[in-house]
Amino acid sequence: MGSLHRASKTLKSLRHQLLLQATQQFDSSSRLSGSSDYRLLLARALCSHPRQNAKEAVDLTQYPPERIRNFSIIAHVDHGKSTLADRLLELTGTIKRGHGQPQYLDKLQVERERGITVKAQTATMFHKYNLQGSSLDGSNEPQPFLLNLIDTPGHVDFSYEVSRSLAACQGALLVVDAAQGVQAQTVANFYLAFESNLTIIPVINKIDQPTADPDRIKDQLKSMFDLEPSDCLLTSAKTGQGLEHVLPAVIERIPPPPGEGSGLLRMLLLDSYYDEYKGVICHVAVVDGMLRKGDKISAAATGQTYDVLDVGFMHPELTQTGVLLTGQVGYVVTGMRSTKEARIGDTLFHAKTIVKPLPGFKAARHMVFSGLFPADGSDFEALNHAIERLTCNDASVSVTKESSTALGLGFRCGFLGLLHMDVFISDLNKEYGTHIISTVPTVPYIFEYSDGSKVEVQNPAALPSNSKQRVTASWEPTVLATIIIPILDSIDHVWCSQRAFMKYRLPLREIVVDFYNELKSITSGYASFDYEDSEYQQADLVKLDILLNGQAVDAMATIVHSLKAQRMGRELVDKLKKFIDRQMFEIIIQAAIGSKVVARETISAMRKNVLAKCYGGDITRKRKLLEKQKEGKKRMKRVGSVDIPQEAFHQLLKVS
Ligand SMILES: Nc1nc2c(ncn2[C@@H]2O[C@H](COP(=O)(O)OP(=O)(O)OP(=O)(O)O)[C@@H](O)[C@H]2O)c(=O)[nH]1
């Protein structure tokens, strides 16, 4: 670990400790107003971060489980989930109407830029409603309800996070676009909610569109999911039409959270993020019992014990309450140093009590791996620091150091899926500031050797090309893909309102590179696609090396099906030929399986004389051309004596 990095880590941890001490002190010494103690002032600044000062303190004891509804909004991408969430927050006065920034719940920059939800968000709302029989004192007045909206990420990469968020809910609004109808993610999300035993409220949204056809969508929902047409709500999150029926449906149809108020504390950890001032903030749902500030809690998966430094709910900003009761959803600040300690789906409970952990916990499973290298080798420490910073907030990325003969020192990172990888790399580019070379993504294969040992191979370069140990079997991960496309009238088996619904088992590797873009372009954007992880299947896999003048380029090695190896080898060699400029000597490009060459191309020698057209005259123009040539060289990576442009490493396996 470099000294710069070590120093920054130590500083970070010192500052973190200081802040925690300060926060603790603030409560015991809030009487000492006017104190000039630095830490106290700092703590005040921190504690003004939550909304407590701005809003009246809320007495959560008013909200026993029968006055709580925990629900989620699930939808195919762009069907209006976040817009609807915004409208509900406005309706309940949680945020001001027209607060200027669209989609309050989508907070990450990448979410705002791409219009997608990557991280789950939670918002607590208060709403008065006259539910028959809900009055605790027999009066006929509207009763206060506490509604927790748990916004889940819509993408398949985060389906584990979605399943954990849904585990904290008793109901879900299934939002479907009134023109587009049921799409691949609608199906996937419906089954996730159905398997979690949630009450599903169908919401047909965007009814203001000229192409809206709510009756057709009702038929679809009935035939596909057995949802009654009379249960469907018709809304326009844009114009506000029909929104008045949403919260009454939530309160009337969704059951209150179960759980034992007097039981031992059990909390489900839904998500976590790192706040510069407060440290790690965990989002939790209290399943049984009660949590108070000052309690000592333990985490089942890690076995670690923490002091509860702050407790509250999201309104939607952090609002301190000092307590969370059964059925309530909120946040907890403990002394966790990194979000790596906060495992999503983990059970938190009072230290020294014995409870059964909540079901469904799984460790993060990395499905896609890519090597990340600094374009300029001397920037390794800066890249290291940028990755450290980002993984502080995204513990689901795995990072190991990697060294490549072609690209130098870098990192091999594991991601939950493709979107997760794209988001991380684009954030990293922003954080890091200069160019990063990312190698073609690969999936985790399993190889068995003649001595019976099995290894998971996340990096093709790590698979020995000429091992004494023979590979006896190999396996690759597969996915169960759902593709929904509109079909022609003339095809006989018209299934559910002009849609064909297809399920395939595909090797994960096949969808890792460009599959989605290809599908969209072939179907002019009409197909929708989703997948879920499935089992490993046996496959005859080989390592395909790329050699330049006899030297293997480790960062370009791939693992492929043996039947495809030759064709793939030819394609790669052809493509690489287009990427590499002619140089002053002959370049031989080969694709090989072990010692067997399966494809070969030659780039003949040429001296590129950039000054060829500059006859005599202006020296500054000659200098400019030479400078430009030098700049171009900087963007090259050298393998042996051959210069390779950086983009070749990432683009090589893309479908042309
Ligand atoms: N016409 C119309 N447009 C809407 C309506 N609701 C949402 N939109 C628009 O549809 C687009 C997608 O809306 P979002 O709320 O971001 O969709 P989403 O489901 O949250 O999308 P993800 O976060 O990507 O899953 C935005 O441009 C919205 O302004 C509606 O009722 N009518």
Q: Which ipTM score applies to this complex?
A: 0.98
Ligand 1 centroid, distance to 79 Cα (angstroms): 5
Structure tokens at 398: 């795995």
483 annotated among ligand-binding-site residues: no
The tens digit of pLDDT for each residue in 354-403 reads: 999 998 787 777 888 988 988 877 888 889 988 988 887 777 888 999 88
Establish whether residue 116 lines the binding site of ligand 1, counting it when its CB lies within 6 angstroms of any ligand atom.
yes
What single string gives the DSSP state of each residue in 270-289? EEEEEETTTEEEEEEEEEES
One-letter amino acid for residue 628 of the chain: K
366 annotated among ligand-binding-site residues: no
Ligand 1 centroid, distance to 159 Cα (angstroms): 21
Highest mean pLDDT among 10-19, 45-54, 399-408 belongs to 399-408
**Do the strands 68-75 and 143-151 form a parallel or antiparallel pair, or are they unpaired?**
parallel
**pLDDT band for position 137 (cuts 50, 70, 90):** low
**pTM, to two decimals:** 0.72
One-letter amino acid for residue 107 of the chain: K
Q: Which carries the bigger pLDDT value, residue 272 or residue 251?
A: 251
Ligand 1 centroid, distance to 190 Cα (angstroms): 19
Ligand 1 centroid, distance to 20 Cα (angstroms): 40
Can you tell me whether residue 322 is helix, strand or coil? coil
> Atom 24, ligand 1: which residue's CA is nearest?
116
Establish whether residue 326 lines the binding site of ligand 1, counting it when its CB lies within 6 angstroms of any ligand atom.
no
Can you tell me whether residue 386 is helix, strand or coil? helix
Q: Are the beta carbons of 161 and 283 closer than 8 angstroms?
A: no
Ligand 1 centroid, distance to 178 Cα (angstroms): 12
Establish whether residue 77 lines the binding site of ligand 1, counting it when its CB lies within 6 angstroms of any ligand atom.
yes
The tens digit of pLDDT for each residue in 548-605 reads: 888 888 888 889 888 889 998 998 899 888 888 777 778 889 999 988 999 998 887 7
Establish whether residue 81 lines the binding site of ligand 1, counting it when its CB lies within 6 angstroms of any ligand atom.
yes
Ligand 1 centroid, distance to 345 Cα (angstroms): 29
Establish whether residue 80 lines the binding site of ligand 1, counting it when its CB lies within 6 angstroms of any ligand atom.
yes
96 annotated among ligand-binding-site residues: no
Q: Which ligand 1 atom is nearest residue 154's CA?
A: 25
Q: Are the beta carbons of 58 and 321 closer than 8 angstroms?
A: yes
Tell me the percentage of the chain whose pLDDT exceeds 70: 76
Write out the H or E segment, with its range, that includes residue 482.
strand 471-486
- Check whether 155 has a pLDDT greater than 80: no
Q: What is the dihedral of CA 371, 377, 379, 382, to 10 degrees?
A: 30
Give the mean model confidence (pLDDT) for residues 279-297.
Answer: 94
The tens digit of pLDDT for each residue in 488-498 reads: 555 444 344 56
Q: Ligand 1 pocket check: which of 73, 78, 149, 155 to mutate, most ligand atoms within 8 Å of Cβ? A: 78
What one-character DSSP code corresponds to residue 582? P
Ligand 1 centroid, distance to 312 Cα (angstroms): 30
Ligand 1 centroid, distance to 80 Cα (angstroms): 3
Q: What is the distance between the alpha carbons of residues 336 and 301, in angstroms, rounded to a whole number? A: 14
- Check whether 311 has a pLDDT greater than 80: yes
> Atom 30, ligand 1: which residue's CA is nearest?
206
Establish whether residue 155 lines the binding site of ligand 1, counting it when its CB lies within 6 angstroms of any ligand atom.
no
Q: Are the beta carbons of 286 and 259 closer than 8 angstroms?
A: yes
Q: Which carries the bigger pLDDT value, residue 571 or residue 37?
A: 571
Say which range, 163-172, 180-189, 630-639, 644-653, has the weakest mean pLDDT.
630-639
**pLDDT band for position 406 (cuts 50, 70, 90):** confident
> Atom 21, ligand 1: which residue's CA is nearest?
78
- Check whether 487 has a pLDDT greater than 70: no
CA 654 to chain CA centroid, Å, is 23
Q: What is the distance between the alpha carbons of residues 6 and 19, in angstroms, rounded to a whole number? A: 20
Average pLDDT over all residues of the chain: 79
CA 393 to chain CA centroid, Å, is 11
- Check whether 54 has a pLDDT greater than 50: no
CB atoms within 10 A of CB 208: 15
Establish whether residue 153 lines the binding site of ligand 1, counting it when its CB lies within 6 angstroms of any ligand atom.
no
pLDDT given at position 119: 59
Q: Which ligand 1 atom is nearest residue 114's CA?
A: 24
561 annotated among ligand-binding-site residues: no
Structure tokens at 517: 């873009």
Q: What is the distance between the alpha carbons of residues 207 and 235, in angstroms, rounded to a whole number? A: 6
Ligand 1 centroid, distance to 317 Cα (angstroms): 23
Q: What is the distance between the alpha carbons of residues 331 and 578, in angstroms, rounded to a whole number? A: 54
Write out the H or E segment, with its range, that includes residue 252.
helix 246-253
Q: What is the distance between the alpha carbons of residues 232 and 217, in angstroms, rounded to a whole number? A: 10
Can you tell me whether residue 167 is helix, strand or coil? helix
Q: Which carries the bigger pLDDT value, residue 476 or residue 417?
A: 476
Report the DSSP beta bridge partners of residue 502: 483
Establish whether residue 121 lines the binding site of ligand 1, counting it when its CB lies within 6 angstroms of any ligand atom.
no
